[in-house]
Amino acid sequence: MGLAFLVLCLVGMPIALSLGISSAITLIGNGNINLMIMPQRILAGVDSFPMLALPFFLLAAAFMSGGGIVQRIINIFNATFGHIRGSLAYTNVAASLFFAGMSGSGIADTSSIGAVLIPAMIDEGYDADFTVAVTAASSVLGPIVPPSIPLIIYGVTTGVSVIRLFLASIIPGLLLAITQFGLCYYYSHKRNYPVHGRVDVKDTLRILKDGLWAIIMPLILVLGILFGVFTVTELACVSVVYALIVGLFVYKSLKWDDIPRILKEVAVDTAVVMFIIGCTTLFSWVLTMYRVPQTVSAAITTFAPNKYIFLALSNVLFVIAGMFLDSTPATLMLVPILLPAVKSLGIDVVHFGVVMVFNLMLGLLTPPVGICLMLGAQMGKISLNRAFKAAMPFLLAGFAVLILITYLPGIVMLIPNLIMGH
């Protein structure tokens, strides 16, 4: 099965089809299994109540982008950092961190914020490669801080509390944002990027008033998580309703005629993700049937006699997986294999999930897939190779934070333990 999967991937077959076809080949070769199990396992993979949050968060992100919320978030941070050298770089990171708390998707972040800030930064004299790098790197914050679509998928796969995962991801996300602010400071002064004057109090108040509804949204979401007001799925639904009302009736940037197009685009995006999840679930089920997770877990435990070596080997595996696979299939394929070893070595499943997602999200910046970097390079009209070179410092900073949260689990578990207990 593994050989068939690799061959199909190498010839350019989409990941979902590669997973489904290789699973089918294995089951047909067995001869003793009713092939009706295939559609049953595929449907079982997406038949989950928490999984409903995924299309709603995608829809909320689309409504926010079309409804003027993203532009107002950018305006607020531009007014805040305008007097600092390289202000648009800081605005890029801050807006991504803020928008991340509403979309949960790195691709949505790159598409929405990049469409506004990449042309603006280049026009103001920022180097195109740095502009693309900071946009792509900051978009990685989206799937790390809550709400996070990859953490939802991990939570559904392992059965752990998604809210606990959300809380555990806050500090790692903030640490990554701090390193990105530091790199913006360094390059802005080194390359003498533009600085604007301070925005006067009157204009600042006007911008804040105009962006008030944009600021309230993530506050509602964060407070809803912290105080347990919403489940994850309810949180996603509230996001959609809020973004729709604000876009239609407050900012009036969203038109009724736009809604059918947005629904169609989100439906297609959701179908693609759900098909990947379904095929990956089938693939994982076949692996489990042949006891591959138990065999691999035993082998890893043999080579990794303690949790520290196991975490190091796991991180290497995630780095390699992130270079070639999107986070969804990587999570659904690797978690069932590694989970038995995680539990046997006494590693907190929540801590491991945050480390895994954080690592895989760095894959959004690494070729050959590197979807956020690729998207940013297209917007900035530069080569992927040039964009990757510029993104390398951000990637290295990300790996430094990864090592920190891997071996200091108290950093990750501080907030969930304080709020929800051990």
Backbone angles phi, psi at 127, to 5 degrees: -60, 140
CA distance 386 to 303: 38
Q: How many domains does the chain have?
A: 1
pLDDT at 369: 63
Q: Which of 335, 333, 346, 334 is nearest to 304 (CA)?
A: 346
Instruction: With respect to residue 160, please indicate whether it lies within any of the assigned structural domains.
Output: yes
pLDDT of residue 164: 93
Residue 366 region, left (φ>0) first, then alpha (ψ -120 to 50), else beta? Answer: beta
Instruction: Fill in the DSSP letter of residue 369.
Output: T
pLDDT category of residue 337 using cuts at 50, 70 and 90: confident
User: Please, are residues 193 and 119 in contact by the beta-carbon 8 Å criterion?
Assistant: no
Does 23 reside within a domain?
no
Q: How high is the pLDDT of residue 108?
A: 64
How many angstroms separate the CA atoms of 291 and 398, rounded?
A: 35
Q: Residue 212: inside a domain, yes or no?
A: yes
Report residue 268 as tokens: 């297609």
**Average pLDDT, integer, range 240-248:** 89
2 has pLDDT over 80: no
Please, which residues have CB within 8 angstroms of residue 165's CB and are 6 or more apart in sequence? 148, 151, 154, 155, 350, 353, 354
User: Is residue 164 assigned to a domain?
Assistant: yes
pLDDT digits (tens, 9 = 90+) for 139-177: 888 788 887 888 888 998 898 988 899 999 999 999 999
What mean pLDDT do residues 303-317 have?
88
What is the predicted pLDDT for the residue at 111?
66
CA atoms of 175 and 126, how far apart (whole Å): 25
Domain annotation covers residue 179: yes
Mean of per-residue pLDDT scores for the chain: 83
pLDDT digits (tens, 9 = 90+) for 97-116: 876 655 555 666 676 677 77
Contact (Cβ atoms closer than 8 angstroms) between residue 18 and residue 9: yes
Taking residues 304-313, what's their average pLDDT?
89
Q: What is the DSSP string of 208-259?
A: HHHTHHHHHHHHHHHHHHHTT-S-HHHHHHHHHHHHHHIIIIIS--S-TTHH
The mean pLDDT value for 243-272 works out to: 88
User: Within a domain: residue 10?
Assistant: no
User: 242 φ, ψ to 5°?
Assistant: -60, -50
Can you give the residue range of the structural domain that contains 394?
36-420
Does any domain span residue 127? yes
Q: What is the pLDDT of residue 30?
A: 74
Please check whether residue 248 lies inside any domain of the structure.
yes
Predicted pLDDT of residue 104: 53
Which of the pair, 149 or 178, is modelled with greater confidence? Answer: 178
Nearest to 171 by CA among 422, 416, 411: 411
Q: Which one-letter DSSP state was computed for residue 230? A: S
User: What is each CA distance from 123 to 88, 131, 177, 193, 199, in whole angstroms?
Assistant: 11, 11, 25, 12, 20
